[in-house]
Amino acid sequence: MALPKRLRQFYHTIRTNRPHLTKPQAKTLALWSDAILHTGSCGLTTVATYAALLLRQPQNTRRQRLREFYKDAWKRAVLPYLKSTQVWECPSNAYLWSADFLENFGGEGGDESNWAWTLKLPISYAYNGSFFHEGIPIRVLGERYQRARYLAEIPEPSWLILLTETRVNYPDLGGWTLTQELTLRSGVVSGKGLLQSHRGGVNWVFCDGSAKWLKVAATCVPRQRWTPYERDQPLFDERARNLVEEYR
């Protein structure tokens, strides 16, 4: 991102006083500070709109970059508890360091947060977006705001999926991806899905910390494991009938 002249002073001040920040982080902080100064708002939508006009970029692109700036990827949040980042690497995953994704605003290979960090993380695991995505309380439960989920909302921790294996760079995968073929900038990978498979199945981690290899269909029928809501079962019945070829 090339900074307009008006932002360079912000950038140099930040680099001088916060030398631990990477250049992309310092540039984004300079942009956010300038937006607050001129709009009087620190809200993501306002700042993204201002930045998009200033930099002549699509608003959605700038919004995503700003969102990644202030919200760490979950894999980075647990780094202090790991001895090595190699725990994220699945030897069977051919897409660990791929940059060939449609939604890759930073252009870096591997995890979508890599554009802002010196420490690079590979692609391998994703959380269950059908339940844990912060937007679910709004879209599914009719609430007004995004939020994390409460422990009390997980009636059967040993049943509900927490993590799965992935071939794409974003942090979550939901049940909606089970019927989708992997689509890259270079084209559609026919017959291959977004979940990384092993002998036709996938390794899953559940909310009680247990792990199990299961066929993808077994997470859908006869009783789905993606949400605790019985009303979702017909949706997963349909998905089980239309799985990507790789998972059948």
Of 63, 40, 64, whose CA–CA distance to 51 is shortest? 63
Query: CA 243 to CA 104: how far, in whole Å?
Result: 25
Is pLDDT larger for residue 103 or for residue 98?
98
Pairing of strands 125-128, 172-173: parallel
The answer, yes or no, to whether residue 42 has pLDDT greater than 70, is no
Give the pLDDT mean for 182-190. 94
Query: CA 216 to CA 220: how far, in whole Å?
Result: 7
Of 211, 33, 195, 212, whose CA–CA distance to 129 is shortest? 195
Residue 1 has a pLDDT of 59
Residue 116 has a pLDDT of 73
Question: Confidence class of residue 31 from pLDDT cuts 50, 70 and 90?
Answer: confident
Question: Confidence class of residue 71 from pLDDT cuts 50, 70 and 90?
Answer: low
Amino acid identity of 64? Q
Residue 68 has a pLDDT of 62
Give the pLDDT mean for 141-158. 91
Give the pLDDT mean for 78-91. 91
Amino acid identity of 141? L
